[in-house]
Amino acid sequence: MFEQKNKSVKHYDGRWAHLYKLWCSALQQEPLPQFDRWLSQEFAKNSKYGSRDRRWYSECLFAGIRFGYFALFCEEFFKSNKTKKIDKLSLDESISDFSKNFQTGNQVLSKWNEISPERFFVWIRLRYELAYKNKPNTLSLELGDEKFQEEVQFFVNLVNLIENSENIIFQLLISSIPIWFKEAIEKRIHESSWENEKTKQFFSELEIRPPLWIRINDLEKIDIVKAELVKEGFEFEQFDSALKVTGAKGVFALQAYRSGLFEIQDLASQRIGQNIQVKNGQFVWDCCAGGGGKTQQIASLLKNKGVIYASDIREYKLEEVKKRARKSGFFNIRCLPWNGENLPNFQKEVENRHGFDWVLVDAPCTSSGTWRRNPDAKYRVSHTNIESLTRLQLSILENASRGVRVGGHLVYSTCSWIYDENEGIILEFLKKNTFYTLVKQNLLGSPNENADTMFAAVLKRES
Ligand SMILES: C[S@@+](CC[C@H](N)C(=O)[O-])C[C@H]1O[C@@H](n2cnc3c(N)ncnc32)[C@H](O)[C@@H]1O
């Protein structure tokens, strides 16, 4: 049974007032900005914030975005429920109205704008405390005045009714996942044969940021990295070349980072790269390389004994790839822009080998698998953009597949758990491209590992 402790700290102090200002200014951006970037820009403009303030504001604002869908439901239900008594009937009616009234991220956002931040953050703090029931938390309720006692009681009653239910709508709601994802979630549960416990694990992991994962570029130098982590007061756990790192500071300032001994890379993303089982001397094309997270990983497997082409539609991203390659001492990475259509003009060396041994298509996607880290992404996904993305994903995959030599492999990946962007694409691709076979496909990371959720499929070109 969930109970709310009564605390007696004055709620509306200067820090909260400032938080509300930041919240309002975030909501003035249209569409909702990529939140982590927006926040770092805000902090950069305001040098008066110390690191503890930043951490606190960031935790609160992210909680606002993470739990904001549920907070909006609480507010709507509370306002429309005259008696403030919650029963199954009034709850069902309220959910039905809510899902009709809010069918897109923009509708949710514009309603957030209408709620006073003080009220909005009452719901957020209540929900946050529920997520952090047995963990150290930052955003404790501190509702000393009597002002919101009715809301607190309403929240407790609501949570007690829906918290342990197996009703999928209740689970979505309390996990603050917009109900418009119901069908997509059900497809995922079915495709991955998740038992109830697995589904609950997936939902509950969305409440909390994933840990920080780093990837060691050269395992022979792992002891240097570990020694510096210990010296700087970090704790870590090792899983092959991945380390889960915990500490109060960031790792950017570490000498080992600056000299390219490790990269920050989520575990699920590392799992994608591990599918590319390169051998010395092989040729790889990372055709949606972005800033080169996976290019770096492949380069560390090849140890300069092979060649990697890195492409992206956004040419400026390739500058980042080059910079990172220099830092880590990889001199076998060739950058070539690509718009996802006809193959780019690779050098003669590729033609001589009749194509690549490995092509990685780390496709643009909804990023639904990164909601733990970037909860704002859930308000940007709609049926329409899933449909247009899947068309683009299939087209990039088909065009890139022409670069694979016979006997070579095509790896398709996304940072999404949505079936249509993953298994659905592979199914379509294999229907048309019968000279490819599926070696394996897997959902990676959460709920099986404490990370983001991603997908990778490995296909072999047979003829
Ligand atoms: C998921 S991100 C890649 C992340 C990167 N592989 C990494 O590990 O850091 C997808 C990339 O696809 C690129 N992209 C989008 N549309 C594209 C297209 N039509 N052709 C090629 N790349 C495209 C985007 O610019 C973006 O950098």
* Domains and their CATH numbers in the chain: 11-176 (no CATH), 211-265 (3.30.70.1170), 267-461 (3.40.50.150)
Q: From the CA of 392, give the closest atom in ligand 1.
A: 19
Distance separating alpha carbons of residues 194 and 426, to the nearest angstrom: 21
pLDDT, position 47: 79
Q: How far is CA 451 from the centre of its chain?
A: 9
State the CB neighbour count (10 A cutoff) for residue 264: 15
- Average pLDDT over all residues of the chain: 92
Distance separating alpha carbons of residues 421 and 447, to the nearest angstrom: 18
The answer to whether residues 216 and 261 touch, using CB atoms and an 8 Å cutoff, is: yes
Q: Is the pLDDT of residue 454 over 70?
A: yes
Q: Which of 287, 288, 365, 415 is catalytic?
A: 415
The answer to whether residues 178 and 72 touch, using CB atoms and an 8 Å cutoff, is: no
Distance separating alpha carbons of residues 273 and 136, to the nearest angstrom: 33
pTM: 0.94
Tokens of 308: 């990697």
High-pLDDT (> 70) share of the chain, %: 95
Is 74 catalytic? The answer is no
- Ligand 1 centroid from CA 32, angstroms: 21
Q: What is the largest CA-CA distance in the chain?
A: 77
pLDDT, position 265: 97
pLDDT, position 452: 98
Q: Is the pLDDT of residue 12 over 70?
A: no
Using one digit for the tens of pLDDT, what is the confidence trace for 74-96?
Answer: 999 999 988 878 888 999 999 99
Burial of 318 (0-12, 13-18, 19+ CB in 10 A): buried
317 ligand 1 Cβ < 6 A:
yes
Q: Is the pLDDT of residue 398 over 70?
A: yes
Identify the residue whose C-alpha is closest to ligand 1 atom 18. 340
Using one digit for the tens of pLDDT, what is the confidence trace for 239-268?
Answer: 988 999 998 788 999 999 999 999 999 999
Q: Is the pLDDT of residue 331 over 80?
A: yes
- Angle, alpha carbons 444-299-418 (nearest 5°): 25
Q: Are strands 436-445 and 453-461 parallel, antiparallel or unpaired?
A: antiparallel
How large is the average pLDDT for residues 279-308?
A: 96
Burial of 59 (0-12, 13-18, 19+ CB in 10 A): middle
- Ligand 1 centroid from CA 365, angstroms: 9
End-to-end CA distance of the chain: 61
364 ligand 1 Cβ < 6 A:
yes
Tokens of 371: 């909601």
